[in-house]
Amino acid sequence: MEKTEKIYIAGHRGMVGSAIKRNLESKGYTNLICLTHSELDLTDQQAVNEFFESEKPEYVFLAAAKVGGILANSTYPAEFIYDNLMIEANIIHAAHIYGVKKLLFLGSSCIYPKFAPQPMKEEYLLTGELESTNEAYAVAKIAGIRLCKHYNQQYGTNFISVMPTNLYGPNDNFDLETSHVMPALIRKFHEAKINNESKVTIWGSGSPKREFLHVDDMADACIYLMENYDYADIGEFVNIGVGKDLSIKELAELIKDVVGYEGDIVYDSSKPDGTPRKLLDVSKLNGLGWTSSIGLKEGIKATYRWYVGN
């Protein structure tokens, strides 16, 4: 990518899109196109086609998606599958029609089977049943990966896909009804500290294990891949993560320490745990020359500072 070439970031106000935008700006890219939902509804095929026809972006980062945690995914599955299918189908098709040089599609580690061997290698895709609580979102993301694959196959496009692990950082969603585990815990411990509450209750048993990647690391990996590798080098998709995990219980203790909360932690085992373990095998990414650089405690501290400040 040349520094002056036109780059469209779909979803630039979300956690991932905003991190990609920050990273591109820091590297000297000057021709970024960013539109809000009110300016361009990505579920509207005609509007998307008109945008691509008039702007003709040369590179596309497809970070726009409807996202949420266990509660949101299981409450609104129809919205999660419909909105995500429409967004990715409209953008990927328009990228083909209007001659985009390269597109990067962002998937999610929930695409893997619920009981996939750990750590999860790229070839485990579609080898077993999905986790039921986020199946709708996972099916949409799998469809996005396969759209890229088959457009490349049929039309010779250069659309690459990446599968990030659990992300956290600035511009995350801290709404307790719809957020993922990391921002939910940061908010819970912060509010418990402010309100002098004696305990914090956490969903599930605390035993599931999760891997966490700071969103600025994620953005750096995406841009590294866009600058250096094509679909022919990467194949269907590449995992992006840190390659190590910890239990929700360990995560809670870490966040409690960073926030400075001194009460007790209680686990509500009547609530769902989700997938028992989700750890990505990142040997393919490491082999391409990229590794994460932001440590978990350092990343949580920075995210907590951002949360308090915003």
User: What is the 3 state secondary structure string of the chain?
Assistant: CCCCCCEEEECCCCHHHHHHHHHHHHCCCCCEECCCCCCCCCCCHHHHHHHHHHHCCCEEEECCCCCCCHHHHHHCHHHHHHHHHHHHHHHHHHHHHCCCCEEEEECCHHHCCCCCCCCECHHHCCCCCCCHHHHHHHHHHHHHHHHHHHHHHHHCCCEEEEEECEEECCCCCCCCCCCCHHHHHHHHHHHHHHCCCCEEEEECCCCCEECEEEHHHHHHHHHHHHHHCCHHHHCCCEEECCCCCEEHHHHHHHHHHHHCCCCEEEEECCCCCCCCEECECCHHHHHCCCCCCCCHHHHHHHHHHHHHHC
16 is in an annotated binding site: yes
295 is in an annotated binding site: no
166 is in an annotated binding site: yes
180 is in an annotated binding site: yes
164 is in an annotated binding site: yes
273 is in an annotated binding site: yes
44 is in an annotated binding site: no
274 is in an annotated binding site: no
Q: Order of strands across the sheet with 238-240?
A: 32-33, 7-10, 59-62, 102-106, 159-164, 238-240
203 is in an annotated binding site: yes
199 is in an annotated binding site: no
Contact 60, 48 (CB under 8 A): no
- Which phi and psi angles does 101 have, rounded to 5°? -70, -45
Contact 255, 224 (CB under 8 A): no
Active-site amino acid positions: 137
23 is in an annotated binding site: no
68 is in an annotated binding site: no
196 is in an annotated binding site: no
37 is in an annotated binding site: no
225 is in an annotated binding site: no
67 is in an annotated binding site: no
Annotated binding site: 11-17, 106-109, 141, 164-167, 180, 188, 203, 210, 273
Annotated binding site for NADP(+): 11-17, 106-109, 141, 164-167, 180
Annotated binding site for substrate: 188, 203, 210, 273
